[in-house]
Amino acid sequence: MTSITDIASSFFHACETGKGWEGCKPYCNDDATFSAQAEPLAEVETLQQYTDWMKALLTFIPDGRYELKTFGTDDERKSVCAYGVFSGTHSGQGGPCAPTGKRVKTDYVYVMDFDGEKIRQVTKMWHAGWAMKERGWT
């Protein structure tokens, strides 16, 4: 039996390296949901949509990468939290405007809730407004 910590870690790395839904779905319920109180993600309601959004993000921030700061499991509540820092330069085509050449470094947290050995819900905490300003998008 694989632990939820191992599953969450595999999902996190697949998502943050732009594997999209194809690379993330082995770790998730087919109908897994997503939530975030962040403007760019206001219409994103499923984990499939979010993982594909991350894949697209890395097309216009091609040097995008993450630094995992902390990772913790709450077995009682069947959830795993990951705190990371995403950084990269808007140098590729796509996104909300022409490439700005500006670099972003932004903190975020995922809370991954489980149903058995599959992720059923991911909540992202992220100050999108700050990150968008750093990129020169506002």
What is the model's pLDDT at position 115?
A: 97
What is the model's pLDDT at position 14?
A: 98
What is the mean pLDDT for each group of 10 consecutive residues in the chain (138 residues)?
92 98 98 93 96 94 95 97 94 80 90 98 82 53
Distance CA 100, CA 111 (A): 31
The CATH number of whichever domain residue 30 belongs to comes to 3.10.450.50
What is the model's pLDDT at position 132?
A: 56
How many domains does the chain divide into?
1
What is the model's pLDDT at position 119?
A: 98
**Checking DSSP bridges between strand 118-126 and strand 28-36, what pairing results, if any?**
parallel
Q: Could you report the per-residue pLDDT of 81-94, keeping only the tens digit for each? A: 999 999 999 888 87
What is the model's pLDDT at position 103?
A: 85
Structural domain harbouring 58? 4-135
Residue that the structure tokens 């058995």 belong to: 116
Residue that the structure tokens 């599953």 belong to: 7
